[in-house]
Amino acid sequence: MLIGYARTSTADQDAGLEAQVRDLEQAGAEKVFSEKVSSIAKRDGLEQALDYLRDGDTLLVTRLDRLARSIRDLMEIVETIREKGAELRILAMDLDTSNATGKLMLGILGSVAEFEREIMLERQREGIQKAKAEGKYKGRAPTARRKSAEVLELLSSGLTEVAVAERLGISRSSVQRIKRQAA
């Protein structure tokens, strides 16, 4: 049985998800699991697809980056698939792990994809450093610090740290930090 898996990183990528599902169904997927979640988050759809796999099945994905976030992640997924007696097929690469060449190519391409991601992250870090040096990058605004006056006022009115945190939508540790800095 061919089982498809489709994923997009954000909810506003509906067209991309629909295209993946369409491609998987055209390739013969009898059941398709799909989700809108970042690859670094918990991927329930992927877990369901892997759980659904049986001996002789093939997990079908459109592209490698829709399946795994790193070579380690890819190898763990491939091992799970192998343990179930199933195979992996990636449409965009015409790659099938049912043969030795497919397995070799998967390892090589997974390494290249991880390398590309590392290069992209390195460039991003360099860009952030440059922007910081030019005074253009301020980072994320400290949301809890903007509420310092409210935190101190609520604490002085007798509310507990937990109650203050819940009321203002910040963490208890932020309340404690503000309290320490005010002392």
Kindly write down the DSSP assignment for every residue of 69-128, as one continuous string: SSHHHHHHHHHHHHHTT-EEEEGGGTEETTSHHHHHHHHHHHHHHHHHHHHHHHHHHHHH
Predicted local distance difference test score (pLDDT) of residue 12: 60
Q: What angle do CA 111, 27, 36 make, to 5 degrees?
A: 60
- The residues annotated with a catalytic role in the active site are 9
Predicted local distance difference test score (pLDDT) of residue 72: 81
Each of the 183 residues of the chain gets a pLDDT tens digit; together they read 999 999 988 766 778 889 999 999 999 999 999 998 877 778 899 999 999 999 999 999 999 888 887 778 888 898 999 999 999 999 998 888 888 888 888 888 778 877 888 898 899 999 889 988 888 887 777 778 888 889 999 989 999 999 998 888 888 998 999 989 887
Predicted local distance difference test score (pLDDT) of residue 59: 96
Predicted local distance difference test score (pLDDT) of residue 11: 61
Tell me which DSSP letter residue 35 carries. Answer: E
For the chain, the first-to-last Cα distance in angstroms comes to 66
Predicted local distance difference test score (pLDDT) of residue 120: 87
Confirm whether pTM is higher than 0.95. no
